[in-house]
């Protein structure tokens, strides 16, 4: 289904400095335009995930060794890709779980 963007007003003047994606475009297509969009739209996306999941922070273990850190970084990249796909396909429950 469609994402519930809530009754938040749209900031029509804001855009991603990396790709120029506007909030209106993000709300229309549910896709980031570049890696910098994660930072630019973090507050908006966290609000949506909070509505779906009830929380936005993961509480888990911290990797201890360099190998574990490298694996965790690789997994984070894979999860970010899956998150983008889930958002694009409007599978927001999955996106919230991946977040």
* Domain ranges, residue 36: 23-98
Q: Tell me the pLDDT tens digit for each residue of 9-60.
A: 667 778 999 999 998 898 888 889 999 998 998 888 888 777 776 655 665 6
- Residue 82 covered by a domain: yes
- Residue 31 covered by a domain: yes
3-state secondary structure of 22: strand
Q: Which residues pair with 99 in a beta bridge?
A: none
Q: Which CA distances in Å does 41 have to 16, 17, 95? A: 8, 11, 15
DSSP code at position 61 = P
This prediction's pTM: 0.46
Q: Tell me the pLDDT tens digit for each residue of 69-81.
A: 777 788 888 888 8
- Residue 83 covered by a domain: yes
- Residue 94 covered by a domain: yes
- Residue 46 covered by a domain: yes
Task: For residue 98, give every residue at least 6 positions away whose Cβ sits within 8 Å of its Cβ, in sequence order, or none.
Answer: 79, 82, 83, 86
- The pLDDT assigned to 21 comes to 95
Is pLDDT larger for residue 21 or for residue 93? 21
- Residue 52 covered by a domain: yes
Count of the separate structural domains present in the chain? 1
């Amino acid at each position: 289904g469609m994402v519930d963007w809530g009754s938040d007003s749209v900031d029509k003047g804001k855009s991603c400095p990396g790709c120029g994606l506007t909030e209106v475009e993000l709300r229309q297509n549910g896709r980031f335009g570049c890696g910098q969009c994660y930072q630019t739209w973090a507050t908006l996306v966290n609000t949506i995930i909070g509505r779906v999941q009830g929380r936005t922070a993961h509480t888990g273990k911290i990797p201890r060794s360099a190998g574990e850190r490298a694996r965790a970084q690789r997994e984070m990249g894979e999860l970010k890709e899956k998150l983008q796909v889930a958002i694009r396909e409007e599978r927001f429950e999955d996106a919230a779980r991946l977040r």
